[in-house]
Structures are given as structure tokens and as C-alpha cells.
Amino acid sequence: MSGTERLRLYADLATWWPLFSPPEHYPEEAADLLPTMHAAADPPPRTVLELGSGGGSLAYHLKRAFTLTLSDRSPEMLAVSRAVNPECEHVVGDMRTLELGRTFDLVFIHDAIMYALTGADVRATLATAARHCRPGGAVVVVPDYVRETFRPVTSHGGEDGTDGRGLRYLEWSWDPDAADDTCEVAWAFVLRESDGSTRVDHDRHQFGVFPRAAWLRWLEQAGFTATSRPDPWDRDVFVGRKREGAN
């Protein structure tokens, strides 16, 4: 997660995001998360900051319940999100260093946290969450997997657009060294333009993979009282209530 790295899926391929991971893929996940988010803070949250909001496909469903501020370090992905969520505030910023100078009832971090490749990256992101969280507020973090739940996976998908464009992808994840804290994810894309022409493209990313106990410890160190629960997709949903007096 270097400060200068540009992942192609979120840069020159970002305009294909609506055919890769559109809002229509997320209603069940939003329905699972909403009760947890409502119960996470006291009183229940109204304002939510999402760190690493990407193309805004999950936010599309959450904005009905909260006033959302969506942040991401990719301007291209925020442009995609603005088209889907024009009523939401959008802010360019790295989740490790973002400083808005105000607090929210809840800070939400979805799968963008997978790009935190070291414990220091995770701790910096949780410090950002703590700075932007009011006393009694909360953070909800949903990594794709923790060390205990990681499994190599091959999957595929894609959608067709109303403009004649289409996308199909193959996703392949593996862990070349189970002794370290990262895994590899590669995508192959077949992209069809509106004129019917096709091309093949690809991208490869690295994800951070950490033990559940480390997540809970880092949340506590950041000033949150931490718990976790499994969701229907075998992911850990981490919830941290900000302690009184925590910075």
C-alpha cells in the first residue's frame, strides 16, 4: 500500500467498475450490515464516514439510512461513485492519513482495508477512524478475510451495460507464503466496447491478511471497545465502540 502505487482496476479501468461490481450486487450485504451499524453507536448513528468507499456500490444502499461522507484515494473511483450517489459528499484522501477536522457518529471501512499490507497500515487507518469518531461513536470494519478464514478462491462474474459494453472477469486468489501477512489476487478481464470490439486486460493486487486477535488488539489500542461476529459470507465484522476519553 505504497503512497504512489496506482492499481489499474481503480485508475484506467475504473470506468468499467459498474460492470464489475454494481450496486445490484450489494442489497443482501447492506441488509446484514445495517442492524450492526445502527446498534454500534450510542445514540444510534446518523452521520457516517466511509474510508476507502471505492465506486460507492455498497454506499448506494447505506445512504438511505445515514448521511454519508465517502472518501477514497482514487479520484477515478470517486467519479464513479458520484454518478451513483450524487447526494453524498465525496472526499479524496488516503485512509491512513485523512484529516477532515470533524467527527462522525460512525466510521465504516469495507473491503478497502485489504490494501493495508502491514500492521502499521492497519493501525494508521484505525487511528484515522478514531480521530473522526465522536465519543460514544463507533467504527465497523469488514475485511474480506482474516488469517483464520482465508481460503484460495477462483471465481468469475461480470455484467452487460445498457450502452452495449460488457465485462467478464476471472478472479484468482492465493497465498504464496502462509508465514507472512499478505496474499495475492489476480484478475483477467474480457472487455467489450459498445462497438462490439473486445480486448483482454488484467491486474494483480496484494492484500493484507492478519489474525483475528490482532484486529481486536489494534482496535483496543486505537481507543475502541472491540467485538467481532461472523457474517453470512464467513467474514469477520469488527465493531469498535469509542471509549470515553479516548483521543
**What does the pLDDT read at residue 2?**
45
With both helix axes pointing from N to C terminus, report the angle between 119-131 and 212-221 in degrees, rounded to the nearest 10. 40
85 plus 200 within the same structural domain? no
- Calpha distance 7→203 (Å, rounded): 8
CATH code assigned at 62: 3.40.50.150
Identify whether 51 is part of a domain. Answer: yes
**What does the pLDDT read at residue 4?**
44
**What does the pLDDT read at residue 246?**
72
CATH code assigned at 167: 2.20.130.10
**What does the pLDDT read at residue 38?**
98
Identify whether 3 is part of a domain. Answer: no
Beta-strand runs (E) in 18-162:
47-51, 67-72, 89-92, 104-109, 133-141, 153-157
61 plus 80 within the same structural domain? yes
Each of the 247 residues of the chain gets a pLDDT tens digit; together they read 444 467 999 999 999 999 999 999 999 999 999 999 999 999 999 999 999 999 999 999 999 999 999 999 999 999 999 999 999 999 999 999 999 999 999 999 999 999 999 999 999 999 999 999 999 999 999 999 999 999 999 999 999 999 999 999 999 999 999 999 999 999 999 999 999 999 999 999 999 999 999 999 999 999 999 999 999 999 999 999 999 877 7
203 plus 116 within the same structural domain? no
**pTM for this one?**
0.96
Cell numbers found for residue 232: 453470512
Angle at 68 between CA 66 and CA 71, to 5 degrees: 155
- Calpha distance 238→96 (Å, rounded): 18
Identify whether 2 is part of a domain. Answer: no
185 plus 75 within the same structural domain? no
14 plus 104 within the same structural domain? yes
Identify whether 74 is part of a domain. Answer: yes
Q: What is the dihedral of CA 32, 35, 41, 42, to 10 degrees?
A: -170
Identify whether 224 is part of a domain. Answer: yes
Cell numbers found for residue 218: 489494534
Q: How many domains does the chain have?
A: 2
Structural domain boundaries, residue 161: 153-208
Identify whether 1 is part of a domain. Answer: no
**What does the pLDDT read at residue 5?**
60
